[in-house]
Amino acid sequence: MAHLHEKIDFTVAIFVVHDSKVLLIHHRKLDKWLPLGGHIELDEDPEQAALREAKEESGLDVELLGERPPTTGHGTRALIAPRFLDIHRISETHEHIGMIYWARPKAGPRGRAASDDQQVVPTMLSHEEHHDIRWCSDADLDKLQPPMSDAVKWYCRSAIREIPNPP
């Protein structure tokens, strides 16, 4: 998508965890392993962007994890807080403010939580944008080629550590 502003854009990154593994894509243009994510469109809020990007890039419906304050009222809707925020330079004149979310695949059939006996199979829907999509364990992160950045690896490991397997 085109940038919404010449100097800065807002983006989402979604670290989806299932069975102690994080879902990653190999971005074709950047030649990097990254979480699901992308730009927040003008007509959506960060939650909507995160859910849309996860579905577009993996085919999975996800549940964003985090706290939603009980402050929704007339004319206001409380949003799930991102787990982290960052700002990263894209070029000499452009930056992204990233809203970093933890997520897990949504409940399976009849409301059962996604579990080990259910396969949660992502589908690489954007062959133009990505080379590969895969679930990675903590140990897998050090074996990825090309090597993953230390920052993204830190987020992956934090998400794996913080998101328990469903009962």
Half-sphere exposure for 87 (CA within 13 Å, toward CB)? 5
What residue ranges do the domains of the chain occupy?
Answer: 8-108+126-162
Pick the CATH number of 8-108+126-162 from 3.90.79.10, 3.90.1150.10, 3.30.420.40, 3.30.390.30: 3.90.79.10
Distances (CA, A) of 12 to 6, 68, 96, 138, 165: 18, 17, 10, 22, 23
Q: Tens digit of pLDDT for each residue in 20-58?
A: 999 999 998 889 999 999 999 999 999 999 999 999 999
Q: Is the pLDDT of residue 64 over 80?
A: yes
- Of 46, 56, 32, residue with least CA distance to 83: 46
Instruction: Collect all residues with Cβ–Cβ distance below 8 Å to 164 and sequence separation of at least 6.
Output: none
Which pair of structure tokens corresponds to residue 125?
């829907």
Query: Cβ distance 1 to 52 under 8 Å?
Result: no
pTM of the model: 0.88
Q: Tens digit of pLDDT for each residue in 7-22?
A: 899 999 999 999 999 9
E strand map for 19-152? 21-27, 32-34, 36-39, 62-65, 84-91, 94-105, 130-136
Q: Tens digit of pLDDT for each residue in 93-136?
A: 999 999 999 999 996 544 444 554 445 777 765 556 778 899 99
Q: Write the burial class of residue 49 (CB in 10 Å: 0-12 exposed, 13-18 middle, 19+ buried).
A: buried
Cβ neighbours of 3 (radius 10 Å): 13
Q: Is 47 helix (H, G, I), strand (E, B) or coil?
A: helix
**Single-letter code of the amino acid located at 23:** L
Q: Tens digit of pLDDT for each residue in 81-98?
A: 999 999 999 889 999 999
